[in-house]
Amino acid sequence: MEKLLVHGGRSLRGSVRVQGSKNTCLPVMAASLLNAGISVLENCPDIADVAVMQEILTYLGCVVNREGSTLIIDSRDACPRKIDDTMSCRLRASSVLMGPMLSRFGSVTAAKPGGCDIGARPVDIHLEAFKRMGASWSIGDSCIEVSAVHLHEGDIYLKFPSVGATENAVMAAVLTPGTTVIENAAREPEIEHLCRYLKLSGAKISGEGTNKITVEGVESLSDVVYTVPPDRIVMGTYMAAAAVTRGDIELIGCCASDACGFFDVYTGMGMKYKNTAGGIRVWQTDRPRNLNCIKTGVYPEFPTDMQSVTLSVAAVGEGCTLFEENIFENRYKIVKPLNDMGADISVDGKKAVVRGVDKLHGCALKGTDLRGAAALFVAALGAEGDSGISNPFYIYRGYEQLITNYRELGAEIEEI
């Protein structure tokens, strides 16, 4: 598929089940290497990033099968192999394989992880954590090598609360003798979900959800059945789509607390909500009201993954909003295509000023990263006229059955 043709201006109405979380599923899949047994992951999203991680695990000797929304991983015969760039360059989350591979096999060699070009995402924080546990590492032009004869307990302080580094440190410590303490740890819900999976397998972890996580090493982990929670960023994307189309959508399987960090922003912009038996209903009756300032930050602050789609909402909001991006410096790559659609956005470094306009108009668009492509899709849904979005595969990296789900809500989309 090369292009999506979106006929904009249709109000979205109906109900949709929010898929399982991409950013939970990927590290849990990586962690399945630790139990040397069977992991059954329910509510696993059928998206491109999960398919790549499945391909990597199969390459490492795991047997992975999908039955509907359930992924069954048998890691008993997994073996250490170099993860080359044909796989890792397609998936930034491949970096979370370092912790479990180092723990189980004593070494890991991998090409530098890829993914979206949204800014610098160095792995030095991950490597410093491993060093605190007795590992050594080297970085070449294209490869990272990490090894340890025996990992040992460590006191780890992360210089930045990196989600990936926190996940890697936790996974490396689970089977390491002694007590490892991770300070300035990330607090994102995905950290809590990973720890919940590991604890169901027999790990001893405390403090997840705070900035200090303690891991007491155990000898082994056991088979586990785990249900992946709903994807909070997909939930937020539906909310953005409802805002720009003045729609009314019931989000099945979600609640307001799943949207911590951005729910207050959307209600502040005029979105109404009501809890339902199956989830939460959100609707927008008037033009969104722009807030004075929206700053991205680490959880529980406004998430960087929601910045792009919210930029699309603010583009048609009433008033002016100052955005400040404090995580990834390339999030503003969508500003030019939004301005091509009639938006009034100016960028100065990590700040962007959005002056809302009455409406956007359709035009030719091109996705360059996952969340940016989703933002252009949201903008196209609310725009007047038709928009052709090339490179839609970026959206498919994180959004399950995108076309089907949005068509059922009333969107008119063609595949070209």
CATH label of the domain that carries residue 364: 3.65.10.10
pLDDT at residue 337 greater than cutoff 70: yes
pLDDT at residue 407 greater than cutoff 90: yes
**Which carries the bigger pLDDT value, residue 389 or residue 82?**
389
Confidence of residue 116 (pLDDT cuts 50, 70, 90): very low
What does the pLDDT read at residue 140?
A: 81
Pair (52, 169) in one structural domain: yes
What does the pLDDT read at residue 304?
A: 96
Pair (151, 294) in one structural domain: no
Confidence of residue 32 (pLDDT cuts 50, 70, 90): very high
Pair (137, 171) in one structural domain: yes
Pair (248, 210) in one structural domain: no
Beta-carbon contacts of residue 277 (< 8 Å; ≥ 6 apart): none
Q: Which of 194, 227, 260 represents a domain boundary (last residue)?
A: 227
Pair (153, 37) in one structural domain: yes
pLDDT in tens, 223-281: 999 999 999 999 999 999 999 999 999 999 999 999 999 999 999 999 999 999 999 99
Q: Which of 183, 209, 227 represents a domain boundary (last residue)?
A: 227
Active-site residue (options: 25, 44, 62, 116): 116
Confidence of residue 317 (pLDDT cuts 50, 70, 90): very high
If you average pLDDT over every residue of the chain, what do you get? 94
Pair (68, 149) in one structural domain: yes
Confidence of residue 1 (pLDDT cuts 50, 70, 90): low
pLDDT at residue 115 greater than cutoff 70: no
Q: Which of 175, 195, 227 represents a domain boundary (last residue)?
A: 227
What does the pLDDT read at residue 175?
A: 98
What does the pLDDT read at residue 117?
A: 45
Pair (75, 221) in one structural domain: yes
User: Which residues span the domain enclosing 83?
Assistant: 22-227
What does the pLDDT read at residue 119?
A: 42
Domains: count for the chain? 2
pLDDT at residue 392 greater than cutoff 70: yes
Pairing status of strand 364-366 against strand 386-390: parallel
Paired residues of 366 in beta bridges? 390
What does the pLDDT read at residue 114?
A: 54
pLDDT in tens, 144-200: 899 998 999 999 999 999 999 999 999 999 999 999 999 999 999 999 999 999 999
pLDDT at residue 89 greater than cutoff 80: no
Confidence of residue 94 (pLDDT cuts 50, 70, 90): confident
Query: Looking at 77-81, 82-86, 174-178, 305-309, which range is the least confident one?
Result: 82-86
Pair (190, 260) in one structural domain: no
What does the pLDDT read at residue 120?
A: 45
Pair (11, 27) in one structural domain: no
CA distance 252 to 266: 18
pTM (two decimals) = 0.95
Pair (193, 320) in one structural domain: no
Whether 143 is a known active-site residue: answer: no
What does the pLDDT read at residue 111?
A: 77
Pair (306, 334) in one structural domain: yes
Pair (268, 183) in one structural domain: no
